[in-house]
């Protein structure tokens, strides 16, 4: 097992080496430039996400699709992922994680637009979309679509369920001394109850759960930051300095160079907001929307909330409290920071992580079943759901480090074909954005032959 873990770690360093960082960040920058800084529409997009409008064809509401995607993105990446990035890359990783989120908004918009534009109806009359359909119908490269679907179906067992169950089982054990197998069993049962009902059942749960869990966690972070407000200016200075000069050894922290800060900041940023992975657009493709651009605007707010707001707050909590200097990593590091709120803090964090984990498992189950449907047809969906429930239990007792490393590798493998489609179809993105966003025609229905 140690040899396998070492192999996975080396593979992760290759997959997330300089070429991938250049491709990912380069795509963020390219799309930001070509789409005339689409991020400037963020607050308009937030308004659209909360407004009721004349809906188009689809399986769930535009907010239901966003909530499902947010359920999958707002998860352990915001708590454990940020802490892992800081523990391995130093405070500077927070800056690179945040930058990945800011420019990743454009990528989330782009991949959503294409996935909605090229979506199809399956034999059950349900919407099916995502990068696999973009690659097949937009680029005429079905083989690459098959690869993306294959990577997604496999990656889901890491990023979508095993990592999530592992994180909460570990924290529940540390906080309440409950064995990991019991927590895993409870998560598995609760997962089965919802995902067997499909996207409509998942969306209903996520619409109720996501706003509640996000608000509670954000309030907890703000309270801790306010309690340590005098340390905030110094914390910001430390983050910025470490981002460009690295961080020397201090306290229990072993030290980290600039490349480590960039590597872990970008990797954990992608793990958290999924911009560039092509996963969230799979849920967006089920949305009721008059045209692709409108839902793309709604969906890009997910990256804003996930990384620009929530991940940043987590990072500030870790640095203002000084917890990052303890040498701890992952959930244990975040738990130490939340202990600044006596008694209530650790319990709030544990309950918050539980809801984050549960919602992420639900959201990713839909992504992966659509990938399996693309590969093997609708008959394969139910067996995959059963395997998903089993993985929720098995993941709770696995090694945290190995699970995270496997998730990193599979994330990268998913991103490559998706990023290729975004770059190759950037002209389509510009044309669609010009028609519906720049010319302010967001309520106009797209022609059926193109949508």
Q: End-to-end alpha-carbon separation of the chain, Å?
A: 48
| Average pLDDT value for residue range 188-195 | 88
pLDDT grade, residue 236 (50/70/90)? very high
pLDDT grade, residue 403 (50/70/90)? low
Least confident range from 59-73, 108-122, 228-242, 331-345: namely 59-73
CA-CA distance, 223 to 219, in Å (whole number)? 6
Give per-residue pLDDT as tens, 121-134.
Answer: 888 788 889 999 99
Query: Taking the CB of residue 142, how many other CB atoms lie within 10 A of it?
Result: 14
**Does 142 score more than 90 pLDDT?**
yes
Predicted local distance difference test score (pLDDT) of residue 316: 94
CA-CA distance, 333 to 284, in Å (whole number)? 34
Residue 447 backbone phi and psi in degrees, to 5: -55, 135
**Does 193 score more than 90 pLDDT?**
no
In Å, how far are 66, 76, 116, 307, 320 from 225, measured between CA atoms?
Answer: 29, 20, 39, 17, 7
**Does 177 score more than 60 pLDDT?**
yes
Q: Got the DSSP string for 23-62?
A: HHHHHHHHHHHHTT-GGGGHHHHHHHHHS-----SSSB-H
**Does 53 score more than 60 pLDDT?**
no
| Average pLDDT value for residue range 232-239 | 94
Say which residues have a Cβ less than 8 Å from residue 73's Cβ, sequence separation at least 6.
272, 273, 274, 280, 302, 303, 306, 360, 363
| Average pLDDT value for residue range 250-258 | 79
**What DSSP element (H or E) covers 128?**
strand 127-128
Of 17 and 339, more confident: 339
Predicted local distance difference test score (pLDDT) of residue 72: 66
pLDDT grade, residue 325 (50/70/90)? confident
Percent of the chain with pLDDT over 70: 92
Domains and CATH numbers, the chain: 2-439 (1.20.1740)
Mean residue pLDDT of the chain comes to 85
Give per-residue pLDDT as tens, 257-310.
Answer: 888 888 888 878 877 788 888 888 998 888 888 899 999 999 999 899 989 999
């Amino acid at each position: 097992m140690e040899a396998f873990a070492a192999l996975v770690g080396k593979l992760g360093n290759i997959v997330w080496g300089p070429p991938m960082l250049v491709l990912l960040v380069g795509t963020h920058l390219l799309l930001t430039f070509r789409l005339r800084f689409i991020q400037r529409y963020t607050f308009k997009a937030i308004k659209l996400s909360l407004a009721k409008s004349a809906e188009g064809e689809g399986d769930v509401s535009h907010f239901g699709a966003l909530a499902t995607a947010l359920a999958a993105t707002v998860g352990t990446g915001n708590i454990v992922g940020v802490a892992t990035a800081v523990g391995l890359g130093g405070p500077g990783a927070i800056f690179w994680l945040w930058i990945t989120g800011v420019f990743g908004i454009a990528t989330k918009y782009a991949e959503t637009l294409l996935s909605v534009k090229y979506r199809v109806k399956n034999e059950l009359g349900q919407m099916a979309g995502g990068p696999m359909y973009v690659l097949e119908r937009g680029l005429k490269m079905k083989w690459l679509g098959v690869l993306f679907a294959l990577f997604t179906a496999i990656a889901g067992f890491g990023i979508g369920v095993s990592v999530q169950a592992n994180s909460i089982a570990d924290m529940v054990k540390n906080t309440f001394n409950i064995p990991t197998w019991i927590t895993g069993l409870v998560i598995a049962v609760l997962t089965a109850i919802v995902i067997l009902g499909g996207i409509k059942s998942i969306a209903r749960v996520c619409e109720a759960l996501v706003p509640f869990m996000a608000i509670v966690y954000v309030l907890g972070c703000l309270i801790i930051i306010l309690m340590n407000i005098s340390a905030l200016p110094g914390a910001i200075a430390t983050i910025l300095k470490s981002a460009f000069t690295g961080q020397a050894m201090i306290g229990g922290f072993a030290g980290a160079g600039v490349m480590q800060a960039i590597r872990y900041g970008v990797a954990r940023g992608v793990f958290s907001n999924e911009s560039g992975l092509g996963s969230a657009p799979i849920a967006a493709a089920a949305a009721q929307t008059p045209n692709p651009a409108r839902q793309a605007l709604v969906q890009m707010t997910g990256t804003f909330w996930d990384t620009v707001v929530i991940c940043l707050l987590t990072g500030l909590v870790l640095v203002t409290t000084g917890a990052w200097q303890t040498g701890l990593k992952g959930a244990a590091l975040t738990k130490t920071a939340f202990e600044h709120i006596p008694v209530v803090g650790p319990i709030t964090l544990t309950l918050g992580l539980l809801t984050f984990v549960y919602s992420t498992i639900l959201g990713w189950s839909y992504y992966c079943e659509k990938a399996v449907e693309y590969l093997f047809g609708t008959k394969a969906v139910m067996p995959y759901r059963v395997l998903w429930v089993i993985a929720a239990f098995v993941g709770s007792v696995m090694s945290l480090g190995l699970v995270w490393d496997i998730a990193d590798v599979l994330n990268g493998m998913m991103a490559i074909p998706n990023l290729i489609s975004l770059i190759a179809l950037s002209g389509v993105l510009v044309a669609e954005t010009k028609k519906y966003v720049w010319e302010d025609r967001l309520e106009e229905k797209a022609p059926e032959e193109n949508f």
